[in-house]
Chain A
């Protein structure tokens, strides 16, 4: 365990070199939030009105928080590194150390997004407070539970994206699959809450990873209830186990296919 904590610490030290890159990423983040702020203000002609159970304030906070999760936890560098390492055979030089490669990459990923997520969270909370005021109905007592749910959400997202990268053991390029995954997450889980979609689509979205990665955790922040918490927690446990087993299974099968040419 100690070695993985050290890997986490080392990755944070390494990622501190990229602070300026993270800050430059704020431009797109703020722009998207600004567009949705104006869009929802236009749609909500009466600020007191509720649309599908959401007030204007809740809707804006929903977008800000899902955007924060999306921007703060996405890690293209690690994801493409896994694919590239497999394709180029460079994975061979990483797996010959006394750690489990998959856990090593999970911890590195967490280390890389830790600082980024914290910075985006600070920026998101500040922007939200300036533009629409504090989060309605938010009770700080729930913070530990929300942190737990957010960590699980990040892990599930990690496991799924890493599983997609591991497909490179069998296919030439996993990038199109990443593209599809990210776009589905963006459209169905980030820009609009599930309640905004047609009734027939809602059960599908609620049973998809979107529910446990973006919608569920954010719903808990903007209107916490014991029922939603239990439902999200249960779904997260299932997804955590399922995605972890998928990831490990793919690795165990794929690692035997390592083909290192050259040298």
Chain B
């Protein structure tokens, strides 16, 4: 079952261009000049029901613009969108009943009210019967462990507690799709982990489709089975997390502390990333040279310490951003 289907989606912005200084400001009043920016450039993808997908990219890549078009906030210039078989631009209100959104940098809660009053408010907004709202609040309060602060005004909550409440407010109407735009931004590692666990639990228990954008590799790695990478408004990669790791984990990082320096320049398959006195950081391409062959280049007695690790996902993603290459 397809939850989201996007075909040839394009969105352009017209941005005012102003020349430098006061003269430029005066000119822009009389003859304003505009330039067109393509925020989303002819992208197509689909998301299955119950999937947790990461939709990531560097700043200005077009992630949030895409989410806003998927939720009916922005009107696309070209292309078709279908979310739960509803066109977001034509039936935004109908779609709103079926989706939930959390924008980590924007508050949707009333800060002077308690989380409980906020949840009641959202229940009313989504036309849910009072008794059902109470049941839903009870259920989500238990899952998200809100008992200790459910009657404390939102303005007095910590950021982590507030984000938990934001997510609960988005789930009060049991949405089929949850759009999370940087839900863990600014949170400490413990709270981040807690939120990730809760999102996973919710996906497992209710089959909620999760569409996540985040700059936090931890969110992506721990939550998502599929990843779409966008850059300059285009999809540069759409693949499963396993494939991504498999394709890129042929490279290993070897950090060695040696008694005496060894020269690796000219060795095919070995790239010296860092070299400081007798400390080396190498990248070994295992397709060209196995780790054991690479190790044979160093006398075992010369090694003081060694550490072999995979390339961090963060580096992989950064490389993909930089290369901007199309895998799919």
Contacts and interface: CB of A to CB of B under 8 A. Distances in A.
Interface stretch (A153-161, A187-195, A220-228, A252-260): A252-260
Contacts of B73: 92, 95-96, 258, 260
B65 A260 contact: yes
B74 A92 contact: yes
- Where chain B touches its partner, the secondary structure class is mixed
B283 interface: no
Contacts of B126: 98
Nearest to B61: A263
A197 interface: no
The interface size bin for chain B is 35 or more
Contacts of A259: 13
Interface string B108-128: 101011000100110011110
B49 interface: no
B92 interface: yes
Nearest to A262: B64
Nearest to A99: B125
A182 interface: no
Interface stretch (B96-104, B268-276, B298-306): B96-104
B110 A14 contact: yes
A259 B105 CA distance: 17
Contacts of A17: 112
A97 B103 contact: no
B124 A263 contact: no
Interface stretch (A2-10, A113-121, A232-240): A2-10
A22 to B, nearest CB: 14
A30 interface: no
Contact of B124 (A2, A14, A90, A92): A2
B236 to A, nearest CB: 18
Given A90-B106, A259-B13, A3 B124 contact: yes
Given A13-B112, A96-B101, A258-B75, 8 more contacts: A3-B125, A6-B125, A10-B121, A93-B108, A260-B74, A263-B63, A263-B64, A263-B105
Closest 4 CB pairs of A and B: A263-B64, A6-B124, A98-B96, A92-B73
